[in-house]
Amino acid sequence: MRMRLMLLGGGNSLGQALIAQGAEEDIGFIAPRPPLHGWDVASLTQLLDDTRPDALINLAYYFDWFQSETVCAQRFAEQEQAVERLAELCQHHGIVLLQPSSYRVFDGGRATAYSEKDEAMPLGLRGQSLWRMEQCIRAICPRHVLLRLGWVLDDSSEGILGRLLQRADLAGELELADDRRGNPCPVDDVARVILAVLKQLDCAAPLWGTYHYGGQEATTPLTVGQAILAEARSLRSMPSVEIAAKAHAACVDAAEEPQHAVLACKKILNTFGVKPRAWRTGLTPLLDRYFRHE
């Protein structure tokens, strides 16, 4: 890898997966420790003025964007300001910016898969904030890759997978939507995709723009929950859990969560040669790490 790579957010689950997979291929990252209050406009300005990497992967706010159950508007406002400044700095210093985004920029009103050409119409606060960040980066920093991801699964105790397992332990019963669809993607798979993109960019290929990625086999939260619990039982003793189907409209997050969130991944396959992987194969290492951390 000729490019000097900087990773903001190396301490979160996706950042750790990226560092670990990069090390296997002798790809290293500059992964600065964030300030106590987190990355903001001032600290990002100082960091990039001092280091000036060739490419920057922005996972600084990964947990809020992909795992947290709720995030306040003020936090998103601060993050939008930081991302705007980051885009300005990358453009000024000639740094390639790789920025993750989400299926949440769509409203979920169509039953077929969303392509990069489909119009964004975010429902909730998180989707609206991510959409504004996307627009900001496109306007300011032409040398960018925006990577929209499906349902990201990681090994954090407060993430999507962790909350599901804790609810199963406490309640003994789960109600999960069976009429909501999307693409699960474990963090190890997302890290693989990011590395594949970086390798192509390292060859000076000007492949800027927006791309979608989600795991192979679109599915429902009900099916994902069943698969997680079945795999978890193979790794440790767990109480019996009943899983019941629930309508999307009856879910507490129905007003913010797209009902249909399947992403079409043809563009990233045709451009970077990235093939979707079956999300089920990524559950075992994910759960193994989760139980070890627990």
Number of separate domains in the chain? 1
Cα–Cα distance, 143 to 55 (Å, whole number): 10
Host H or E run for residue 148: strand 144-149
- What domain range is 196 assigned to? 5-154+185-217+262-279
Residue 72: inside a domain, yes or no?
yes
- Residue 67 carries which side chain, given as an amino acid letter? Q
Note the pLDDT tens digit of each residue in 49-107. Answer: 999 999 999 999 999 999 999 889 999 999 999 999 999 999 999 999 999 999 999 99
Residue 43: inside a domain, yes or no?
yes
Residue 176: inside a domain, yes or no?
no
Smallest CA-to-CA distance from 291 within 151, 160, 166 is with: 166
Give the pLDDT score at 250: 96
pLDDT < 70 regions, the chain: none
Give the pLDDT score at 31: 96
Taking the alpha carbons at both ends of the chain, their separation in whole angstroms is 35
Give the domain CATH number at 133. 3.40.50.720
Residue 14: inside a domain, yes or no?
yes
Average pLDDT over all residues of the chain: 95
Residue 289: inside a domain, yes or no?
no
| 251, 171 Cβ separation under 8 angstroms | no
Pairing of strands 55-58, 151-153: unpaired
Residue 160: inside a domain, yes or no?
no
| 7, 29 Cβ separation under 8 angstroms | yes
Give the pLDDT score at 220: 98
Residue 73: inside a domain, yes or no?
yes
Give the pLDDT score at 109: 94
What pTM was computed for the model? 0.96
Smallest CA-to-CA distance from 80 within 140, 18, 12, 30 is with: 140
Residue 21: inside a domain, yes or no?
yes
**239: helix, coil or strand?**
coil
Beta partners for residue 244, in sequence order: 175
Host H or E run for residue 83: helix 73-93
Taking phi first (over 0 means left), then psi (-120 to 50 degrees means alpha), and beta for anything else, what does residue 288 get? alpha
Give the pLDDT score at 170: 82
